[in-house]
């Protein structure tokens, strides 16, 4: 029995085709396994045809902003991807570094250009209280209504591993998290979503969030 799914949702499952983009990040398999476990059609691919036929696109990520963008530019057909996401409004989810690269600039080990799909930049978490590496479970504070968080009123613990965070216009910030100071933990701009935490490592909360995204 699939978690959170009702019997009449089989049609939705069968009509959903998820494309996970792979530029060499370390958590692609975990994201794939979660989506497969939930019963959705999913493949890992950077092929243009797969991006075009997908109903939903996910960009996972671990590591540093600049290194990620270098690999993304080399391995992912960004013109075709932007056409599907920006022009055709295909639902897109960035995870961890996959969320960070959505903005214009990153300042991890220098200055680097991001995708620029959202305004803003990425810099080091400001905290005088805790280690700069934010690792482990933490709560999110939902700031605005979003389909990502439907049904998660009683489950808002997610798993984080990062030391840099997105700074963007509050218009696009849909949750924040406290770690010494508050930082942006998820974003949404139209059909573009991003989460700083790892839903694939966040047990029931992560399963529900991914299911919500794939229900769009």
Q: Which residues pair with 123 in a beta bridge?
A: 165
Contact predicate 61/68, CB 8 Å: yes
Check 56, 184, 200, 211 and give the catalytic one: 200
42-206-39-71 Cα dihedral, nearest 10 degrees:
10
Instruction: Report how far residue 124's alpha carbon sits from residue 101's, in angstroms, rounded to the nearest whole number.
Output: 14
| Residue 96 annotated to the active site | yes
Are 39 and 3 in contact by the 8 Å Cβ rule? The answer is no
Phi, psi for 38 (deg, rounded to 5): -75, -10
Catalytic residue among 56, 96, 108, 173: 96
Please, which residues bridge with residue 118 across strands? none
Phi, psi of 109 (to 5 degrees): 60, 50
Angle at 154 between CA 33 and CA 191, to 5 degrees: 55
Dihedral sign from CA coordinates of 94, 158, 182, 187:
positive
Is residue 200 flagged as an active site residue? yes
Residues carrying an active site annotation: 96, 198, 200
């Amino acid at each position: 029995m699939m978690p959170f799914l009702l019997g009449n949702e089989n049609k939705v499952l069968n009509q959903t085709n998820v494309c996970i983009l792979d530029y060499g990040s370390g958590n692609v398999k975990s994201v794939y396994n979660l989506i497969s476990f939930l019963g959705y059609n999913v493949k890992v691919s950077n092929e243009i045809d797969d991006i075009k036929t997908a109903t939903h696109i996910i960009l996972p990520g671990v590591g540093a902003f600049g290194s990620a963008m270098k690999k993304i530019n080399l391995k992912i057909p960004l013109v075709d991807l932007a056409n599907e996401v920006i022009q055709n409004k295909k639902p897109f989810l960035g995870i961890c570094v996959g969320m960070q690269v959505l903005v214009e600039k990153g300042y991890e080990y220098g200055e680097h250009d991001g995708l620029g799909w959202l305004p803003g930049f990425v810099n080091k978490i400001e905290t005088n209280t805790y280690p700069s590496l934010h690792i482990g479970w933490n709560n999110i504070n939902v700031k605005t209504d979003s389909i990502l968080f439907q049904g998660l009123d009683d489950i808002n613990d997610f798993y984080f591993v990062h030391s840099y965070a997105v700074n963007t216009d509050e218009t696009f910030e849909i949750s924040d998290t406290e770690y010494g100071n508050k930082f942006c933990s998820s974003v949404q701009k139209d059909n573009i979503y991003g989460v700083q935490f790892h839903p694939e490592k966040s047990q029931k909360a992560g399963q529900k969030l991914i299911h919500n995204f794939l229900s769009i």
